Chain A
Amino acid sequence: MKYWMIVKSGINRKKIRTFMTVFSIATAFLLFSLGRSVAVAFNSEVDFAGKDRLIVVSRLAFTESLPMAHKNRIEAVEGVDTVVWRQWFGGTYKERQNFFPKWPVPDNYFDVYPEWELSEGAQEAFSRNITGMIVGKDLADQFGWKIGDRIPIIADIWPKKGGGVWEFDLVGTYTDSVSEEQGEAFINWKYFDEARQFETGRPGNYIVKIKNPDQAESIAKEIDELFMNSLDETKTSTEEAFSRMFAEQIGNIGLIINSVLAASFFTILLLTGNTMSQAVRERTPELGALKAVGFSDRLIMLFVLAESFFLCVAGALIGVLIAYLLFPLFSGVAIGFSGEIEFSISIVISAILVAFITAVISGVLPAYSAMRLNVVDALRKN
């Protein structure tokens, strides 16, 4: 700590330059934060989805429905624990921007998601109340819904018999202890199936909880073979693989955006590294003087490295702070439909890690050359 004065004088030597260097590092880290959050948005569901759940969709397309008769046959497969189903409801709450997935599901749907915690009495109320609806806690907060509220949904794919708006009663909320995704809504299958105009008795896709995740592949294969060459062939994959399929479909674009951001991040770091080594070069005589009065080579190297650390970490923190302030502007901007640009603590942690690495990379050359300085040569440069 007693050498802080020397490091500080290095930083204060040219205040304008220090200021500008810190801010150019800050912009690099702002881009870094943006890139991280985009990457997270593109892969959001992939990280969290359960490995002991399979999704069975129509082989023709995931949007096509499957017959209810598939349920018993899937249940009979060795290793299958529970079979539930759902249907994509579509629909709009007030305005198109208020997008969130809505699924008609059977009563026991939530048994398959043990990581979800339902609010008190929600399960019971959902079974009892035919127009019941359970939504993610975040969703309820976002729209200011309270239990007992009546939620109107304008139909698109599934018009109601006799037309008009669907109405559901909020009976509970859920929180998810594993993922941060709590943005879906669930409505009662029985009500939906009786009140819709067509396709009655056909679920969209099945969700199959299996006893042993290691058997996922063989069970998936067995299910698909059951329905091979029938009118309703299936395609079964783990929930994880199913989500990844969507991420891959946006795929290329996510990859391109990310590599472009990475390229820009490194461009700026390259420039910054150049500035730093320039700053050390200019100071050669001073470092020589320090050596002449007895500072060790190692200490000199540490001084230069400390300066580099200071610049990088300060820049990283400012960049992340700006990102933190800026991101709310992007909120609600869904990329595809797999996630949003959101700020998270993992961004801060990875930014600081990267800042340390950057500090070492950009500081090590100047630090090394400072350490190797010959006192006489260094002083002669004056």
Chain B
Amino acid sequence: MSFIRQVLSVTNMNLRSILERSGSSLVIIIGIAGSVAVMVSLLAMAEGLSSTISNTGQDDRVIILRDGSSSELSSGVAMTEVDTVSSSSGIKSLDGDPMIAGELFAIIDLTKKGADSTSNLPFRGVEPMSFAIRPELTIVEGRNFTSGTAEIIVGKGANNQYQGLDIGDQIKVRDSFATVVGIFTSNGDVHESEIWSDLSAAQGIFRRGPTVSSVILKLENKESFDEVGLYVESYPNLELKVQREIDFYDDQSSGADLIKIFGQVVGYIMAIGAVFAALNTMYSAVSTRLVEIGTLRALGFKGATVLAALMIEALILAMAGGLLGAAIAYVLFNGYTVSTLAGGSFSQTAFAFAVTGEVVQQGLTLALFVGFIGGVFPAWNAARRDITEALRSI
């Protein structure tokens, strides 16, 4: 017990004198805050992008592409093939109809708000069943498009990021116009960055024959995936690839993994820099307090007490730096929405930075790590000093 009391009282003394040494303490805090802010912002970016993409996928939904294609944009499936797949077992039915829809995925070039040149916005032509398969899609403003007309509905993300996509606006498609009649949300997933229209309208706009890009279907239950897979695989001349929707979108989020790795690498490199700075500061902080430390030791405080107290001081400074860094990243970036070219789809996905608990925790771990390494060597050095030698340095 007395050891803990001793440590606490020495720590208390150290902390009271922190203000007097504010210059060097600040160096540690700023160094660590910088590293943590950098790491947390990059990880928050990765987290936002990857959760937007992977939220889209459900494990009781299946997406079918042409064999050899890894994205909807590079895939083509004939409508007759969709009919063939629809007679497979394992597909959930709604009022007697199988829950399966062919969808056309294309790109349309529109201008972002505040930009001069155009960006690639995903455009999806869907069948009525597409809405039943994705119950998360809700029209939040206006109404749904009417089948057979050139009406479109726009995802919330696309609506926020692009010019001229409000209700009543018209966009030019070839020699005619399409009218925006509704805005939809979809759980914050990638569809919110898309424009949707009736399938036949989209086939007209993009000059496609009776083909779609992908097929989406709802399974009876998670386990019936194999039934559909087996059916497609064994059906003659059907060159299609069956994937769970969740796996497909996990695969598409590899760009986010890259940002994540990048964020971690940069965070660690910065942390190493911060360790050097912390070491420098702690060494000189300790050397200016050698007399203090010698006096404590002469009064009977143990070396271990001094070591523990100095470590606690370093860790408290590190924690303060870590919290400051995380706070900076949170204030600057949390909820900040950007859109970028995502994965292999050549089109824009809007997402918001997400400073999640897990991300902050990674940042604080980094901070404590820097504080520990930066503190332990100088503290160890001080604790082992000969008392008389320490006192003599007056």
Contacts and interface: CB of A to CB of B under 8 A. Distances in A.
Contacts of B348: 249
B77 to A, nearest CB: 11
Interface string A207-237: 0000000000000000000000111110101
Given A31-B266, A159-B66, A267 B341 contact: no
Given A24-B276, A27-B273, A241-B117, A92 B339 contact: no
Given A63-B107, A232-B174, A271 B266 contact: no
Interface string A269-300: 01110110010000000000000000000000
Interface stretch (B54-62, B137-145, B277-285, B292-300): B277-285
Given A260-B266, A275-B281, 14 more contacts: A27-B273, A31-B273, A92-B68, A96-B70, A154-B68, A156-B70, A157-B74, A250-B341, A252-B339, A253-B340, A257-B42, A260-B41, A272-B277, A278-B284
How big is the B interface, by class? 35 or more
A163 interface: yes
A354 to B, nearest CB: 15
Interface in A332-346: 333, 335-336
Contacts of A333: 258
Given A21-B280, A267-B31, A270-B30, A30 B108 contact: no
B258 A155 contact: no
Interface stretch (A2-10, A54-62, A71-79, A182-190): A54-62
A256 B338 contact: yes
Interface of B: 23, 27, 30-31, 34-35, 37-38, 41-42, 45, 66, 68-70, 73-76, 106-109, 115, 117-120, 123, 172-175, 205-207, 209, 239, 255, 258-259, 262, 265-266, 269-270, 272-274, 276-277, 279-281, 283-284, 338-341, 346, 348
Nearest to B325: A267
Contacts of A155: 68
A68 to B, nearest CB: 14
A268 interface: yes
A16 B283 contact: yes
30 contacts: A16-B283, A17-B280, A21-B276, A21-B280, A24-B280, A27-B270, A27-B273, A31-B266, A31-B269, A34-B265, A59-B172, A60-B109, A61-B106, A61-B107, A61-B109, A65-B207, A155-B68, A157-B69, A157-B74, A233-B175, A250-B341, A251-B340, A252-B338, A256-B338, A257-B42, A267-B34, A272-B277, A278-B284, A336-B255, A336-B340
B280 A253 contact: no
A274 B27 contact: yes
Nearest to B251: A96
A244 interface: yes
A20 B269 contact: no
A324 to B, nearest CB: 15
Nearest to A198: B209
B266 A59 contact: no
A260 B258 contact: no
A233 B339 contact: no
A198 B37 CA distance: 52
A264 interface: yes
Contacts of A65: 207
B258 A34 contact: no
A347 to B, nearest CB: 15
Interface of A: 16-17, 20-21, 23-24, 27-28, 30-31, 34, 59-65, 90, 92, 96, 154-157, 159, 163, 198, 229-233, 235, 237, 241, 244-246, 248-253, 256-257, 260-261, 263-264, 267-268, 270-272, 274-275, 278, 333, 335-336
Contacts of B273: 23-24, 27-28, 31, 268, 271
Given A61-B106, A156-B66, A90 B272 contact: no
A64 B73 CA distance: 11
A248 B115 contact: yes
A237 B255 CA distance: 28
Contacts of A271: 27, 30-31, 273-274, 277
A198 B203 CA distance: 14
A268 B277 contact: yes
A23 B174 CA distance: 59
Nearest to A20: B276
A143 to B, nearest CB: 19
A133 B76 CA distance: 25
A116 B138 CA distance: 53
A232 B173 CA distance: 10
Given A60-B108, A61-B120, A248-B117, A267 B68 contact: no
Contacts of B270: 27, 31, 264, 267-268
Contacts of A92: 68, 70
A271 B25 CA distance: 11
B108 A335 contact: no
A247 B104 CA distance: 27
Given A61-B108, A268-B277, A275-B280, A156 B74 contact: yes
Contacts of A275: 27, 277, 280-281
Nearest to B108: A61
A275 B123 CA distance: 56
Contacts of B120: 61-63, 249
